Amino acid sequence: MKNTWFSRVAVGTACLGLGLAVTYACTDFLNTPAQATLDENALATKVGVEGALIAAYRSLDCNNATNGNWGCAASNWPFGSITSDDAYKGSEATDQPQATKLELYVWSSDQAQDYLDRKWASMYEGVVRANATIRLLQKVSLKAGQISHADSMGIMGEALFLRAHYHFEAWRMWGNIPYYYETDTDFRKTNLSADSAAKLVIADLNAAAALLPTTPRNGQVGRATSWGARAYKGRVLLYTHQYAAAVATLDSVVASGQYALETSFDHVWTGFHAFENGKETILAYEASVNDGEPNGNNSNYGERLNLPHSGSPFKCCGFHQPSQNLANFFAVDGVTGLPKAFTSPATWNTRDSTWVASVTDTVDPRMDWTIGRYGVPYKDWGLHDPTWIRAPGYGGPYSPKKNAQEKASGAVSKVGWQPEQENGVHIHVFRYADLLLLDAEAKVETSDLAGALVLVNQIRARAAVTAQGCGAGSSNAPLVTKYPLCAGDDRMAVPLTDSHIAWATYKVSPYTIANWPDQATARNAVRLERRLELAMEGQRFFDLRRYGGAYAQQVLGAYLTAEKTPARRAYKGAQVAYATPLNDWYPIPQVEIDLSTVGTVKRLTQNPGW
């Protein structure tokens, strides 16, 4: 699915409802590009309802209705990453102070509220589009011969799946949220409790799973399927600590064979079309470039700030920089091949010096698929060097890497303002490796340590397949000057022991059951593996919260103590420490509470402590 933009239907809970006109253009799902301005009656056709459904998918990332800033990013980098130990806001101190306030936990400030309200508006924009699709479908279904039973069932299932997803995203941000249905007419609804809202997400996923086909409708990858709905249900069950039910659901997805790990890690985050919707994809924002949209807005727009800065081929903007803590986390014990965070929990995070290219460092190969660092090839773009960093004294020396396209992929926009920032790398919202690790977590909590071990070792075995190679040995002179063996070698991914690698020693070994003598040790290992695998993917903060407020407070407290030093990021001295239960939910944007007023009563209530 390559989605293009849709006009604003609604933003915020004050104006949820289908507008009288919807402008849309689409490719892939409808196969023939279309663009028109239609009123609601004209949309009551099969083509119209299919277009409305694409509009619901399009809300997975920033669009014309929601891209006032980057709180709408599909990756959740402002809420799931820079608020955790994975990353700094990056760039320089004066740019995007809204994100700075999020990073520093000053969430009640007007600037932080700006991003938070953008996220709220974006998620409920998705909800309204899903509900508008359902209402249109009901009209279309009344017209004889207009739509087949199979398409009707599939469209309803996809809309319910998306409605569940957008509500889940709001739920894991704010917990106590309103839930909207296609029949709602007064959108100034009161909050539900977090438990009640989660149950409604699961109910929608159950309904979607019963309606959807097992494979993507019309053979168009990117669409929701019944197995995708079941996988997502397992995710929600795990988030709500229903471990036995999560194991049963997630195991059934694994046994179905519908999903699999990509053959190597470099095929997961990629601009190459051959891998963009592989077996690992459960739900992704299907970014698209050079598709006829004149401004590049179908790209992964929410990520456009998050590429190396002006000295790089991407030209801007240096946000979402990996932390020193995250770089240290990839260190590997050279004897066992296990993470130092596992084998040396008291000392793994003591290194303050920058990780630069060096074969004396033994690291997990996922380090150099995740972090751009000095002297190491950056995919196939040549060497990452200091000129790529906007303000190293502020944001540190590292760059994000997963969301960058490969040069050879051609997945960069040719139109729009500074198009080098915009690419077609799909943004994984939920992928199979994430599912396997959720399943492993649930198995640990149900005392199946051996079962969890098998799943974690599957992830580690895939990580051991390839490492960053030379990438540009036939075209990049600085690379060849530094590493003569790279001359003529354009392989971006190579075996871990390839003789041309001269920037790291890569090692990743499986755990044995002897490494996991008890539940607490196994639980720790699974949590470590999630961070290694999903680093910089916007999951970390939500994982820490899910592990429990006290645990999040402990981990993020230790992180902050190490970071707010002159050797790392002194500005972190202004950061407010994570407090439970206050930071266990974000504050509901005040503007949304104000918009919910009926008479003198605000129907939305603020989360406790805010």
pLDDT digits (tens, 9 = 90+) for 370-416: 999 999 999 999 999 999 999 999 999 999 999 999 999 999 999 98
Identify whether the C-beta of residue 447 lies closer than 8 Å to the C-beta of residue 519: yes
For residue 26, pLDDT beyond 60: no
Give the pLDDT of residue 42: 77
- The DSSP call for residue 140 is H
pLDDT digits (tens, 9 = 90+) for 91-140: 999 999 999 999 999 999 999 999 999 999 999 999 999 999 999 999 99
Sign of the CA dihedral with 310 first, then 316, 322, and 323 last: positive
* Both structure tokens of 553: 């407070």
pLDDT digits (tens, 9 = 90+) for 476-511: 999 999 999 999 999 999 999 999 999 999 999 999
Mean pLDDT of the chain: 92
Per DSSP, the three-state class of 45 is coil
For residue 22, pLDDT beyond 70: no
Mean pLDDT (whole number) for 10-29:
32
For residue 63, what pLDDT band results from cuts at 50, 70 and 90? confident
For residue 201, pLDDT beyond 50: yes
Give the pLDDT of residue 186: 92
Give the pLDDT of residue 38: 54
For residue 37, what pLDDT band results from cuts at 50, 70 and 90? low
For residue 27, what pLDDT band results from cuts at 50, 70 and 90? very low
Closest CA relative to residue 271, chosen from 473, 407, 369: 407
Query: With b meaning 16 or more CB within 10 Å and e meaning fewer, what string describes 328-362?
Result: bbbbbbeeebbbbbbbeeeebbebeeebebeeebb
* Both structure tokens of 55: 């509009």
Q: How far apart are CA 314 and CA 80, in angstroms?
A: 24
Query: What's the predicted TM-score (pTM) here?
Result: 0.93
- Per the listing, tokens 């663009």 go with 35
Closest CA relative to residue 74, chosen from 451, 428, 393: 428
For residue 19, pLDDT beyond 90: no
| Residue of higher predicted confidence among 72 and 7 | 72
Mean pLDDT (whole number) for 56-63:
94
| Residue of higher predicted confidence among 553 and 23 | 553
Q: Where are the strands (E) in 78-236, listed by range?
A: 87-90
| Angle of CA points 468, 469, 472, to nearest 5° | 125
For residue 35, pLDDT beyond 60: no
pLDDT digits (tens, 9 = 90+) for 243-272: 999 999 999 999 999 999 999 999 999 999
For residue 3, pLDDT beyond 80: no
For residue 64, what pLDDT band results from cuts at 50, 70 and 90? confident
